[in-house]
Structure 1
Amino acid sequence: MTTPDAAPAIEPDEKDWTWVLRERCPECGFTAADVDPEAIGGTVRDLAPRWVAALHRPGARERPDAGTWSTLEYGAHVRDVLRIFGGRLQLMLEQDDPPFDNWDQDATALADRYDLQDPTVVADELADAADETAARFDAVPDDAWERTGRRSNGSDFTVRTLGQYFLHDVVHHLHDVRG
Protein backbone atom coordinates (compact mmCIF):
# COMPACT_ATOMS: atom_id res chain seq x y z
CA MET A 1 0.00 0.00 0.00
CA THR A 2 1.33 3.41 -0.94
CA THR A 3 1.39 6.16 1.64
CA PRO A 4 0.04 9.48 0.36
CA ASP A 5 2.64 12.15 -0.08
CA ALA A 6 2.98 14.43 2.89
CA ALA A 7 1.19 17.72 2.57
CA PRO A 8 3.57 20.56 1.95
CA ALA A 9 4.49 22.05 5.30
CA ILE A 10 3.23 25.49 6.12
CA GLU A 11 5.79 27.87 7.57
CA PRO A 12 5.40 27.44 11.34
CA ASP A 13 3.75 30.30 13.21
CA GLU A 14 6.23 31.11 15.94
CA LYS A 15 4.59 34.36 17.08
CA ASP A 16 3.48 34.73 20.67
CA TRP A 17 -0.13 35.72 20.12
CA THR A 18 -0.75 36.70 23.77
CA TRP A 19 -0.59 40.33 22.64
CA VAL A 20 -4.25 39.89 21.57
CA LEU A 21 -5.13 40.11 25.26
CA ARG A 22 -4.03 43.77 25.18
CA GLU A 23 -4.66 44.90 21.61
CA ARG A 24 -7.27 44.56 18.86
CA CYS A 25 -6.24 42.01 16.22
CA PRO A 26 -5.69 43.99 13.00
CA GLU A 27 -6.39 40.91 10.85
CA CYS A 28 -9.74 39.71 12.22
CA GLY A 29 -10.82 42.73 14.30
CA PHE A 30 -11.25 40.71 17.51
CA THR A 31 -10.66 42.54 20.80
CA ALA A 32 -10.12 39.92 23.48
CA ALA A 33 -10.24 42.36 26.40
CA ASP A 34 -13.82 43.26 25.47
CA VAL A 35 -15.04 39.67 25.86
CA ASP A 36 -17.24 39.07 28.88
CA PRO A 37 -15.91 35.74 30.14
CA GLU A 38 -19.41 34.57 30.98
CA ALA A 39 -20.28 34.93 27.27
CA ILE A 40 -17.47 32.65 26.03
CA GLY A 41 -19.56 29.47 26.05
CA GLY A 42 -22.43 31.08 24.16
CA THR A 43 -20.06 32.63 21.62
CA VAL A 44 -18.42 29.26 20.97
CA ARG A 45 -21.86 27.74 20.40
CA ASP A 46 -22.76 30.59 18.03
CA LEU A 47 -19.56 30.12 15.99
CA ALA A 48 -19.67 26.32 15.69
CA PRO A 49 -22.39 26.22 12.98
CA ARG A 50 -20.35 28.65 10.88
CA TRP A 51 -17.38 26.29 11.13
CA VAL A 52 -19.56 23.32 10.23
CA ALA A 53 -20.90 25.18 7.19
CA ALA A 54 -17.37 26.14 6.08
CA LEU A 55 -16.24 22.52 6.35
CA HIS A 56 -19.16 21.41 4.17
CA ARG A 57 -18.33 23.84 1.36
CA PRO A 58 -17.02 22.45 -1.92
CA GLY A 59 -13.27 22.87 -2.02
CA ALA A 60 -12.79 22.65 1.75
CA ARG A 61 -9.76 20.42 1.13
CA GLU A 62 -8.07 22.88 -1.24
CA ARG A 63 -5.40 25.27 -0.08
CA PRO A 64 -5.83 28.80 -1.45
CA ASP A 65 -2.06 28.86 -1.98
CA ALA A 66 0.93 26.73 -1.06
CA GLY A 67 1.59 28.64 2.16
CA THR A 68 -1.94 28.69 3.58
CA TRP A 69 -3.94 25.92 5.20
CA SER A 70 -7.15 24.75 3.61
CA THR A 71 -10.50 25.19 5.37
CA LEU A 72 -10.20 21.51 6.34
CA GLU A 73 -6.79 22.04 7.94
CA TYR A 74 -7.98 25.13 9.80
CA GLY A 75 -11.09 23.24 10.91
CA ALA A 76 -9.03 20.33 12.24
CA HIS A 77 -6.80 22.82 14.05
CA VAL A 78 -9.79 24.61 15.62
CA ARG A 79 -11.27 21.26 16.67
CA ASP A 80 -7.99 20.53 18.45
CA VAL A 81 -7.86 24.05 19.92
CA LEU A 82 -11.31 23.45 21.40
CA ARG A 83 -10.15 20.18 22.93
CA ILE A 84 -6.82 21.53 24.21
CA PHE A 85 -8.29 24.64 25.79
CA GLY A 86 -11.20 22.74 27.28
CA GLY A 87 -8.61 20.51 28.95
CA ARG A 88 -6.53 23.49 30.09
CA LEU A 89 -9.61 25.12 31.57
CA GLN A 90 -10.46 21.93 33.47
CA LEU A 91 -6.89 21.72 34.74
CA MET A 92 -7.02 25.32 36.00
CA LEU A 93 -10.26 24.62 37.85
CA GLU A 94 -8.89 21.46 39.48
CA GLN A 95 -5.30 22.48 40.29
CA ASP A 96 -3.55 25.55 41.62
CA ASP A 97 -1.51 27.33 38.95
CA PRO A 98 -0.94 24.28 36.73
CA PRO A 99 1.63 24.26 33.95
CA PHE A 100 0.21 23.36 30.54
CA ASP A 101 1.80 20.71 28.38
CA ASN A 102 3.46 22.16 25.32
CA TRP A 103 1.42 21.79 22.13
CA ASP A 104 3.11 22.24 18.78
CA GLN A 105 0.20 22.98 16.47
CA ASP A 106 2.30 22.71 13.33
CA ALA A 107 3.75 19.32 14.27
CA THR A 108 0.25 18.10 15.13
CA ALA A 109 -1.08 19.21 11.75
CA LEU A 110 1.59 17.17 9.98
CA ALA A 111 1.54 14.14 12.29
CA ASP A 112 -2.26 13.88 12.27
CA ARG A 113 -2.44 14.63 8.53
CA TYR A 114 -5.03 17.34 8.82
CA ASP A 115 -4.95 17.57 5.02
CA LEU A 116 -6.23 13.99 4.62
CA GLN A 117 -9.00 14.04 7.20
CA ASP A 118 -12.65 13.91 6.17
CA PRO A 119 -14.22 17.40 6.33
CA THR A 120 -17.59 15.95 7.39
CA VAL A 121 -16.00 14.03 10.26
CA VAL A 122 -13.98 17.09 11.29
CA ALA A 123 -17.17 19.19 11.24
CA ASP A 124 -18.92 16.71 13.55
CA GLU A 125 -15.91 16.49 15.87
CA LEU A 126 -15.56 20.27 15.95
CA ALA A 127 -19.23 20.67 16.84
CA ASP A 128 -18.91 18.11 19.64
CA ALA A 129 -15.73 19.74 20.98
CA ALA A 130 -17.42 23.17 20.81
CA ASP A 131 -20.38 21.91 22.85
CA GLU A 132 -18.11 20.34 25.46
CA THR A 133 -15.78 23.32 25.78
CA ALA A 134 -18.68 25.78 25.83
CA ALA A 135 -20.28 23.80 28.65
CA ARG A 136 -17.03 23.91 30.60
CA PHE A 137 -16.84 27.69 30.27
CA ASP A 138 -20.53 28.03 31.18
CA ALA A 139 -19.84 26.07 34.38
CA VAL A 140 -16.97 28.25 35.65
CA PRO A 141 -17.95 29.42 39.14
CA ASP A 142 -17.97 33.19 39.70
CA ASP A 143 -15.03 32.94 42.09
CA ALA A 144 -12.84 30.96 39.65
CA TRP A 145 -12.27 33.46 36.82
CA GLU A 146 -9.00 34.65 38.35
CA ARG A 147 -7.52 31.17 38.93
CA THR A 148 -4.18 30.86 37.15
CA GLY A 149 -2.27 28.54 34.85
CA ARG A 150 0.81 28.91 32.66
CA ARG A 151 2.12 27.85 29.30
CA SER A 152 5.48 26.17 28.86
CA ASN A 153 6.89 29.42 27.43
CA GLY A 154 6.10 31.21 30.69
CA SER A 155 2.92 33.01 29.57
CA ASP A 156 0.59 33.35 32.54
CA PHE A 157 -3.18 33.13 32.19
CA THR A 158 -6.20 33.45 34.40
CA VAL A 159 -9.31 31.46 33.52
CA ARG A 160 -10.68 34.77 32.18
CA THR A 161 -7.68 35.53 29.93
CA LEU A 162 -7.36 31.89 28.83
CA GLY A 163 -10.94 32.07 27.58
CA GLN A 164 -10.43 35.39 25.85
CA TYR A 165 -7.19 34.19 24.21
CA PHE A 166 -8.79 30.89 23.16
CA LEU A 167 -11.83 32.63 21.68
CA HIS A 168 -9.57 34.78 19.50
CA ASP A 169 -8.18 31.61 17.92
CA VAL A 170 -11.65 30.35 17.02
CA VAL A 171 -12.73 33.74 15.62
CA HIS A 172 -9.45 34.48 13.85
CA HIS A 173 -9.38 31.21 11.93
CA LEU A 174 -13.05 31.59 10.98
CA HIS A 175 -11.96 34.90 9.46
CA ASP A 176 -9.09 33.06 7.70
CA VAL A 177 -11.56 30.70 5.99
CA ARG A 178 -14.12 33.44 5.34
CA GLY A 179 -16.67 31.53 7.39
Structure 2
Amino acid sequence: MPIIADNKDWTWVLARACPDCGFDASSTTPATLATTIPALLPRWQQALKRADVEQRPNDSTWSVLEYAAHIRDVFDLFAGRLEAMLATNNPTFADWDQDQAALNGNYDSLEPSEVSGELVQCGQDAAEAFGAVNSELWERRGLRSNGTEFTILTLSGYFLHELIHHLHDVDA
Protein backbone atom coordinates (compact mmCIF):
# COMPACT_ATOMS: atom_id res chain seq x y z
CA MET A 1 0.00 0.00 0.00
CA PRO A 2 1.48 3.38 -0.95
CA ILE A 3 2.16 5.95 1.75
CA ILE A 4 0.39 9.30 1.61
CA ALA A 5 2.88 11.75 0.11
CA ASP A 6 4.64 14.19 2.42
CA ASN A 7 4.39 17.50 0.59
CA LYS A 8 5.79 19.67 3.39
CA ASP A 9 8.58 22.10 2.63
CA TRP A 10 11.17 20.98 5.17
CA THR A 11 13.61 23.82 4.46
CA TRP A 12 12.42 25.50 7.67
CA VAL A 13 14.86 23.16 9.48
CA LEU A 14 17.63 25.46 8.30
CA ALA A 15 16.22 28.28 10.45
CA ARG A 16 15.22 26.44 13.64
CA ALA A 17 15.63 23.12 15.39
CA CYS A 18 13.27 20.30 14.46
CA PRO A 19 10.78 19.76 17.28
CA ASP A 20 10.42 16.07 16.40
CA CYS A 21 14.04 14.88 16.22
CA GLY A 22 15.77 17.81 17.94
CA PHE A 23 18.25 18.37 15.09
CA ASP A 24 19.68 21.89 14.81
CA ALA A 25 21.32 22.58 11.44
CA SER A 26 22.99 25.83 12.50
CA SER A 27 26.43 24.33 13.10
CA THR A 28 26.42 21.75 10.30
CA THR A 29 29.12 22.00 7.65
CA PRO A 30 30.29 19.66 4.90
CA ALA A 31 33.11 18.67 7.27
CA THR A 32 30.48 17.71 9.85
CA LEU A 33 28.98 15.26 7.36
CA ALA A 34 32.37 13.66 6.80
CA THR A 35 32.46 12.52 10.42
CA THR A 36 28.77 12.27 11.32
CA ILE A 37 27.60 10.05 8.46
CA PRO A 38 30.07 7.24 9.26
CA ALA A 39 29.05 7.47 12.93
CA LEU A 40 25.37 7.01 11.98
CA LEU A 41 25.83 4.04 9.65
CA PRO A 42 26.02 1.39 12.42
CA ARG A 43 22.64 2.54 13.73
CA TRP A 44 21.11 1.88 10.31
CA GLN A 45 22.85 -1.49 10.13
CA GLN A 46 21.40 -2.45 13.53
CA ALA A 47 17.93 -1.25 12.58
CA LEU A 48 18.03 -3.43 9.47
CA LYS A 49 18.65 -6.51 11.64
CA ARG A 50 15.36 -6.16 13.52
CA ALA A 51 12.90 -9.03 13.27
CA ASP A 52 10.14 -6.62 12.22
CA VAL A 53 12.26 -4.72 9.66
CA GLU A 54 9.67 -5.20 6.91
CA GLN A 55 6.60 -4.34 9.00
CA ARG A 56 4.99 -0.94 8.75
CA PRO A 57 3.93 0.36 12.16
CA ASN A 58 0.74 1.70 10.55
CA ASP A 59 -0.71 2.39 7.10
CA SER A 60 0.85 5.84 6.86
CA THR A 61 4.43 5.07 7.95
CA TRP A 62 7.23 3.30 6.11
CA SER A 63 8.87 0.21 7.55
CA VAL A 64 12.47 0.33 8.75
CA LEU A 65 13.44 -1.38 5.48
CA GLU A 66 11.70 1.29 3.41
CA TYR A 67 13.27 4.11 5.42
CA ALA A 68 16.72 2.54 5.02
CA ALA A 69 16.29 2.16 1.25
CA HIS A 70 15.16 5.79 1.14
CA ILE A 71 18.28 6.89 3.04
CA ARG A 72 20.48 4.83 0.71
CA ASP A 73 18.99 6.79 -2.18
CA VAL A 74 19.21 10.08 -0.29
CA PHE A 75 22.97 9.58 0.05
CA ASP A 76 23.26 9.33 -3.74
CA LEU A 77 20.83 12.19 -4.35
CA PHE A 78 22.69 14.65 -2.14
CA ALA A 79 26.11 13.55 -3.39
CA GLY A 80 24.83 14.21 -6.92
CA ARG A 81 23.52 17.62 -5.96
CA LEU A 82 26.84 18.46 -4.35
CA GLU A 83 28.67 17.34 -7.49
CA ALA A 84 26.41 19.58 -9.62
CA MET A 85 27.06 22.56 -7.32
CA LEU A 86 30.80 22.06 -7.61
CA ALA A 87 30.78 21.56 -11.39
CA THR A 88 28.24 24.18 -12.48
CA ASN A 89 27.30 27.67 -11.40
CA ASN A 90 23.81 27.75 -9.89
CA PRO A 91 22.56 24.36 -11.11
CA THR A 92 18.87 23.54 -10.82
CA PHE A 93 18.14 20.20 -9.18
CA ALA A 94 15.66 17.90 -10.83
CA ASP A 95 12.56 17.09 -8.81
CA TRP A 96 12.77 13.91 -6.78
CA ASP A 97 9.57 12.26 -5.66
CA GLN A 98 10.61 10.08 -2.73
CA ASP A 99 7.32 8.24 -2.68
CA GLN A 100 7.51 7.38 -6.37
CA ALA A 101 11.14 6.31 -5.85
CA ALA A 102 9.94 3.92 -3.12
CA LEU A 103 7.38 2.40 -5.49
CA ASN A 104 9.75 2.23 -8.45
CA GLY A 105 12.49 0.74 -6.29
CA ASN A 106 10.19 -1.77 -4.60
CA TYR A 107 11.59 -0.67 -1.25
CA ASP A 108 9.15 -2.92 0.60
CA SER A 109 10.43 -6.10 -1.02
CA LEU A 110 14.19 -5.55 -0.87
CA GLU A 111 16.57 -7.80 1.04
CA PRO A 112 17.57 -6.04 4.30
CA SER A 113 21.17 -7.27 4.23
CA GLU A 114 21.62 -5.96 0.67
CA VAL A 115 20.14 -2.59 1.59
CA SER A 116 22.47 -2.48 4.59
CA GLY A 117 25.57 -3.00 2.45
CA GLU A 118 24.43 -0.51 -0.19
CA LEU A 119 23.47 2.06 2.44
CA VAL A 120 26.90 1.82 4.06
CA GLN A 121 28.72 2.18 0.74
CA CYS A 122 26.57 5.11 -0.39
CA GLY A 123 26.93 6.75 3.01
CA GLN A 124 30.70 6.42 2.97
CA ASP A 125 30.81 7.84 -0.56
CA ALA A 126 28.63 10.82 0.44
CA ALA A 127 30.71 11.46 3.57
CA GLU A 128 33.90 11.48 1.49
CA ALA A 129 32.38 13.78 -1.13
CA PHE A 130 31.17 16.35 1.40
CA GLY A 131 34.36 16.06 3.45
CA ALA A 132 36.48 16.85 0.39
CA VAL A 133 34.84 20.24 -0.19
CA ASN A 134 37.18 23.11 0.63
CA SER A 135 35.59 25.72 2.92
CA GLU A 136 36.08 28.43 0.25
CA LEU A 137 33.47 26.61 -1.83
CA TRP A 138 30.78 26.30 0.86
CA GLU A 139 28.87 29.32 -0.49
CA ARG A 140 28.44 27.89 -4.00
CA ARG A 141 24.75 27.82 -4.84
CA GLY A 142 22.19 25.49 -6.33
CA LEU A 143 18.43 25.71 -6.81
CA ARG A 144 15.61 23.28 -6.33
CA SER A 145 13.14 23.32 -9.19
CA ASN A 146 10.73 25.34 -7.01
CA GLY A 147 13.33 28.12 -6.69
CA THR A 148 14.54 27.31 -3.17
CA GLU A 149 18.20 28.28 -3.02
CA PHE A 150 20.84 26.26 -1.21
CA THR A 151 24.50 26.81 -0.64
CA ILE A 152 26.75 23.82 -0.10
CA LEU A 153 26.69 24.81 3.57
CA THR A 154 22.88 24.88 3.84
CA LEU A 155 22.56 21.75 1.70
CA SER A 156 24.74 20.02 4.29
CA GLY A 157 22.39 20.97 7.11
CA TYR A 158 19.31 20.00 5.15
CA PHE A 159 20.90 16.65 4.24
CA LEU A 160 22.00 15.83 7.78
CA HIS A 161 18.53 16.62 9.09
CA GLU A 162 17.12 14.04 6.68
CA LEU A 163 19.46 11.39 8.07
CA ILE A 164 18.89 12.26 11.74
CA HIS A 165 15.14 12.67 11.37
CA HIS A 166 14.65 9.28 9.75
CA LEU A 167 16.78 7.60 12.41
CA HIS A 168 14.40 9.21 14.90
CA ASP A 169 11.50 7.79 12.86
CA VAL A 170 12.82 4.24 13.01
CA ASP A 171 13.85 4.50 16.67
CA ALA A 172 10.47 5.87 17.78
Fold conserved (TM > 0.5)?
A: yes
* Residue in structure 1 matched with residue 71 of structure 2 by the alignment: 78
CA contact (8 A) 2:25 2:158 kept: yes
Shift of 1:115: 0.3
Amino acid at match of 2:135: D
* Residue in structure 2 matched with residue 49 of structure 1 by the alignment: 42
* Residue in structure 1 matched with residue 123 of structure 2 by the alignment: 130
Matches within 5 A, 1:124-163: 124-163=117-156
Cα distance in 2 for residues equivalent to 1:36 and 1:157? 13
Amino acid at match of 1:172: H
1:174 aligns with 2:152: no
1:20 aligns with 2:13: yes
After TM superposition, what 4+ stretches of structure 1 lie above 6 angstroms from structure 2? none
Q: Which runs of 5+ in 2 are unaligned?
A: none
Cα distance in 1 for residues equivalent to 2:131 and 2:42? 18
Amino acid at match of 1:156: E
Shift of 1:33: 1.2
Shift of 1:34: 2.5
Q: Percent identity?
A: 48
Q: Which runs of 5+ in 1 are unaligned?
A: 1-7
- Which whole-Å deviations, capped at 9, do the CAs of 1:37-95 have from their partners, x for residues lacking one? 42111101100111111011111001111111000000000000001001100110111
RMSD between superposed Cα atoms in Å: 1.0
> Which stretch has the larger CA shift, 15-24 or 36-45?
36-45
Cα distance in 2 for residues equivalent to 1:45 and 1:90? 20
CA contact (8 A) 2:28 2:153 kept: no
Cα distance in 2 for residues equivalent to 1:141 and 1:127? 24
Cα distance in 1 for residues equivalent to 2:114 and 2:87? 31
